[in-house]
Structure 1
């Protein structure tokens, strides 16, 4: 086995153990993981898009916004996180408009901030939050792993050659099918399947995760970089590992917020709304 492949496997095992351990523990442990991912994502985003060079003061505000969001998550003031993040994005957009700065600034604030918020919101502190987070992990990881292997085995037409030449339609379809089945496996290990809502949610999350993967590929191609950073041996950066997860969690957050609006906000457990329980 090649040294690089061994390094990738070892890093993947360590990362999975950390993620699953924090997910099982929940509470502050998972909140800490969520904000760590969010802060590292902003670091890589600002580095890739060269915000430090192009807009130092704007980037400083971006860091301040991420620290405030992280503090709110760690203090368990989740109801304040989205309003604070929305205000930060608006202020950053105003700054860019006045100073003719980079629109990658408000984009990065939104991307990284929603990463921390959506992860922490999905896991929550209860049993349903644990299952909901495992459900999302299963969909995203199942999609990612099987998209790679099916694409390599079957080949065929490219999915988005201008953005990511290696991805194929066969891999995308195979990954989606396996991602949905993986999510259903986690759900049915704990609950009975009553209708098609859960497969539909898994389908949405699987597609969202692949869009997230393509989105990060677009950013890296736009700025001419191979990896988002070198923080993870054999894998590149944090964004390289969680790009699909970020979009899947964002999609889950939107699904839940939409359901809460339709129900008049009567549901209180994020996991119960996401899993349709």
Structure 2
């Protein structure tokens, strides 16, 4: 019995910190506009700081000339809110180019990481700015990523079994991935029924795909942490590590959903 309980000994602190962050985000995204942009810019800046610390090592300091690179992502989010996502990405890339000269150490790692984080946050803001389905799109996206994470957590802890990719993520199992996808499908189906804005089966199918993409995002960050020899991106969130550790799957999913919405020319909720 004690062995079974130890599998979930970190669950309570994970739930508390996740609920606190989730409630704050929910209230902010209800208002949208500058409120959501400010929250995303703040999170973007924190994740860029975590990424740089991970790449160059803790306590290395920040050169003043590199400040444009650090604020590139947050500025891109704010610009995207006032104009459009492509203008936001352009502004971010300009600042990245200005700050690149000061980040000579491991620039080949810092630059793509900052760009990835910034583009992901800009994509979330772009999804939210849809006047008709913006809030629902972001709410669905967040719920599906959470469902994939929760289903993966319990599926892996309860069933265990073969590892998905031991060299990159020793704790992630195939049972966890299957559990995460199934729970995401159920969540998407229920969400489609209650919102009544689209067909629930299609939402469930897309939810399963988004869940798999979020797993891919998690593996990307896990491989980066293993490469740089760190366990967590930071200790900003009790029980979770850093913000980058929590939003790695959401970032990949946001880019995927935003890309589909752009190429289809309409919201993910219109079929």
TM-score by length of 1: 0.83
Asked if structure 1 preserves the Cα contact closer than 8 Å seen for 2:73 and 2:117, the reply is: yes
Match of 2:262 in 1: 257
Match of 2:87 in 1: 80
Q: Deviation digits for residues 226-261 of structure 1, max 9, x if unmatched?
A: 11111112321101111111111011111122223x
Q: Deviation digits for residues 67-116 of structure 1, max 9, x if unmatched?
A: 43143145354441133335556x379859xx685211221221221132
Whether 1:225 and 2:230 are equivalent positions in the alignment is yes
**3-state secondary structure, aligned to 2:256:** helix
Alignment partners' CA distance in 1, 2:93 and 2:268 = 23
Gaps of 5+ in 2: none
Deviation at 1:205, TM superposition (A): 1.1
Alignment partners' CA distance in 2, 1:120 and 1:276 = 19
Asked if structure 1 preserves the Cα contact closer than 8 Å seen for 2:17 and 2:237, the reply is: yes
**3-state secondary structure, aligned to 2:136:** helix
Q: Deviation digits for residues 31-55 of structure 1, max 9, x if unmatched?
A: 1111111111111111101178499
Match of 2:268 in 1: 274
Asked if structure 1 preserves the Cα contact closer than 8 Å seen for 2:127 and 2:138, the reply is: yes
Match of 2:51 in 1: 45
Pick aligned residue for 1:170 from 175, 178, 184: 175
Whether 1:238 and 2:232 are equivalent positions in the alignment is no
Alignment partners' CA distance in 2, 1:115 and 1:148 = 24
Deviation at 1:203, TM superposition (A): 2.3
Match of 2:36 in 1: 30
- Distance of aligned partners of 1:155 and 1:117 in 2 relative to their CA distance in 1, 3 Å threshold: same
Deviation at 1:66, TM superposition (A): 2.5
Asked if structure 1 preserves the Cα contact closer than 8 Å seen for 2:28 and 2:36, the reply is: yes
Asked if structure 1 preserves the Cα contact closer than 8 Å seen for 2:33 and 2:129, the reply is: yes
Whether 1:152 and 2:165 are equivalent positions in the alignment is no
Asked if structure 2 preserves the Cα contact closer than 8 Å seen for 1:148 and 1:171, the reply is: yes
Q: How does 1:93-132 map to 2 (within 5 A)?
A: 101-124=106-129, 126-132=131-137
Alignment partners' CA distance in 2, 1:82 and 1:125 = 18
Q: How does 1:11-22 map to 2 (within 5 A)?
A: 11-22=17-28
**3-state secondary structure, aligned to 1:167:** strand
Alignment partners' CA distance in 1, 2:171 and 2:83 = 41
Q: How many residues align?
A: 264
- Distance of aligned partners of 1:11 and 1:64 in 2 relative to their CA distance in 1, 3 Å threshold: closer
Gaps of 5+ in 1: 261-266, 268-272
Whether 1:139 and 2:133 are equivalent positions in the alignment is no
**3-state secondary structure, aligned to 2:114:** helix
Alignment partners' CA distance in 2, 1:4 and 1:156 = 20
Q: Structure 1 stretch 27-36 or stretch 245-254: which is displaced more?
A: 27-36
